[in-house]
């Protein structure tokens, strides 16, 4: 058995050590650095197996705490989708700042309750307002903005599962586009200082309904940036490790059941980032934005999902293809072989943070395009699926999926 007890080990070095050990059939564990033993801080629960997150992560991301603090101190912050994977971690990081207050908004009542109990248990000092609500409900959201007058909005509420949205484009439009439209309009009307849209790499040259819906939301936010004084920015990143429905917990469950581990295609690759580091970058981008930018995060090198599956099998003490099989199921409708973070038309500019780039688009949305987006959302209840898809494709000419569904 090998035990890694290095404080903040270099990720590449840690991966190399673990790979060598797995090749030799040696178990690897991780414990806190030696100085913690001497100080009597070592607890039995801190001695643990190496997890796949340990091997996919990178060096700890440092953010400009002072710039973020200046942006957030004394502000009332609203987080939509607060109970989700990204939203809840944003909340956990936001309560470390001296906010005037924090509004947690989500439609998922049970998950929101659990998050609230967690925060109360942690005795956070920031005043909390916990609201069950639907971002698509304009009258309800108007009452929220009228009563609370938030200064900063982090909009993380969205549907994200590609195959499900392929079958229900109306729901993707109502939530991912309609919800964004409602909150963005209210941000302008109530003079919110900053509005941050949490987006996805699936919006780049989209091949799916979900990707198209997020690209349309991005375009609307870019257009809203010209309507008033609110600073609108978009943050775009790839898959986050451990989020609900992501591949890592899926593989863990399949391995625990003895397999097989299902991968869609031998060559499929994805970018990965841990939820905490993604949220740290969202906060930094929120502070540095001037309005209209799409911030793109350096996700590192893409990971081949087949290799990820095999490494997870080996970490569990099994042999890929011997103890647990890896089977290929085929790409699902709307699914990409690989993801992109920037489109060809977007020019990249560096920022002071080495992990954050700005993707600039030459053509801001026209008033006609903004009106077309509003009309599409308005027509969702009466439109047929085929008609909705056709209108979405007209708004997203870079769509690269199937011509009909």
Q: What is the pLDDT of residue 27?
A: 77
Tell whether the model's pLDDT for residue 95 goes beyond 70.
yes
Of residues 239 and 175, more confidently modeled? 175
The structure tokens 């001695």 sit at 47
Do 27 and 149 belong to one domain? no
| 317-342: pLDDT as tens digits | 888 898 999 999 998 876 778 776 66
Token duo for residue 321 = 């293809």
* pLDDT over threshold 70, residue 118: yes
The reply to whether 60 falls in a domain is no
- Higher pLDDT: 60 or 301? It is 301
Residue 314 resides in a domain: no
Contact by Cβ (8 Å): 149, 191 = no
For residue 324, being part of any structural domain is answered with no
Give just the sign of the alpha carbon dihedral 385, 387, 388, 392: positive
Q: Are 34 and 122 within one domain?
A: no
* 16 and 124 assigned to the same domain: no
pLDDT at res. 281? 87
Residue 400 lies in a domain: no
* In-domain check, residue 110: yes
Tokens of 192: 């919110």
Q: What's the rounded mean pLDDT across residues 270-288?
A: 87
* Low-confidence winner among 4-8, 12-16, 101-105, 393-397 (lowest mean pLDDT): 4-8
pLDDT for 46 equals: 62
| pLDDT band at residue 43 using 50, 70 and 90 as cut-offs | low
Looking at the structure of the chain, the number of domains it has is 2
Nearest to 303 by CA among 212, 236, 241, 210: 241
The residues assigned a catalytic role are: 202
Region 284-300 average pLDDT: 86
Q: pLDDT: is 193 or 351 the higher one?
A: 193
Both 104 and 14 in a single domain?
Answer: no
Residues 129 and 19 in one domain: no
Shared domain for 88 and 137, answered yes or no, is: yes
* 37 and 134 inside one domain: no
**Mean pLDDT value of segment 383-396:** 94
- Say yes or no: 202 and 346 in one domain: yes
Quick one: 17 and 111 in the same domain?
no
Phi, psi angle pair for 90, to nearest 5°: -55, -45
What CA–CA distances, in Å, run from 90 to 86, 192, 277, 351? 6, 19, 10, 22
pTM of this structure: 0.83
Please give the Cα distance from 364 to 303 (Å, whole number).
Answer: 33
For the residues 196-219, what does the mean pLDDT come to? 94
Q: Please tell me whether residues 177 and 258 are part of one structural domain.
A: yes
- pLDDT confidence bin for 349, thresholds 50/70/90: confident
| Mean pLDDT for the chain overall | 87
- Taking residues 374-381, what's their average pLDDT? 96
Q: What is the arithmetic mean of pLDDT over 356-361?
A: 78
Q: What is the CATH number of the domain that holds 366?
A: 3.40.50.720
**Do 198 and 104 have their domain in common?**
yes
Q: In which domain, by residue range, is 28 found?
A: 2-50
Residue 405 has what pLDDT? Answer: 45
Q: What mean pLDDT comes out for the span 193-221?
A: 94
Same domain, 46 and 83: no
Is residue 404 one of the residues assigned to a domain? no
Tell me the percentage of the chain whose pLDDT exceeds 90: 52
* 316: in domain: no
Between 1 and 261, the more confident residue is 261
Give strand pairing partners of 263.
328
């Amino acid at each position: 058995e090998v035990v890694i007890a290095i404080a903040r080990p270099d990720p590449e070095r840690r991966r190399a050590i673990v790979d060598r050990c797995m090749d030799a059939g040696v178990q690897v564990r991780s414990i806190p650095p030696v100085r913690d033993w001497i100080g009597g801080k070592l607890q039995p629960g801190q001695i643990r197996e190496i997890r796949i997150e340990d091997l996919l992560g990178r060096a700890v991301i440092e953010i400009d705490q002072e710039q973020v603090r200046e942006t957030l101190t004394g502000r009332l912050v609203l987080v939509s989708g607060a109970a989700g994977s990204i939203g809840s971690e944003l909340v956990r990081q936001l309560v470390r700042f001296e906010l005037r207050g924090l509004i947690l908004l989500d439609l998922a009542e049970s998950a929101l309750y659990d998050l609230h109990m967690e925060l109360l248990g942690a005795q956070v000092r920031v005043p909390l307002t916990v609201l069950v609500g639907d971002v698509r409900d304009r009258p309800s959201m108007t009452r929220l903005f009228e009563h609370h007058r938030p200064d900063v909005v982090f909009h993380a509420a969205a549907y994200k599962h590609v195959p499900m949205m392929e079958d229900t484009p109306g729901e993707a439009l109502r939530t991912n586009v309609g919800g964004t439209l409602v909150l963005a309009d209210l941000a302008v009307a109530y003079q919110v200082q900053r509005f941050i849209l949490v987006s996805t790499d699936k919006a780049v040259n989209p091949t799916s309904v979900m990707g198209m819906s997020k690209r349309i939301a991005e375009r609307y936010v870019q257009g809203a940036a010209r309507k008033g004084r609110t600073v609108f920015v978009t943050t775009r990143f790839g898959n986050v490790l451990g989020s609900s429905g992501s591949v890592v917990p899926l593989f863990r469950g399949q391995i625990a059941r003895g397999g097989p581990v299902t991968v869609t295609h031998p060559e499929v690759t994805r970018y990965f980032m841990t939820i905490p580091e993604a949220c740290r970058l969202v906060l930094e981008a929120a502070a540095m934005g001037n309005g209209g930018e799409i911030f793109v995060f350096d996700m590192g090198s893409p990971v081949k999902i087949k290799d990820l599956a095999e490494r997870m099998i080996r970490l569990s003490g099994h042999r890929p293809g011997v103890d647990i099989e890896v089977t290929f199921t085929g790409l699902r409708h709307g699914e990409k072989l690989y993801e992109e973070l920037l489109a060809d038309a977007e020019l990249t500019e560096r920022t002071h943070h080495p992990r954050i780039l700005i993707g600039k688009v030459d053509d801001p949305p026209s008033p006609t395009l903004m009106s077309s987006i509003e009309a599409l959302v308005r027509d969702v209840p009466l439109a047929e699926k085929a008609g909705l898809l056709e209108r979405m494709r007209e708004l997203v000419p870079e769509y690269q999926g199937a011509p009909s569904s």
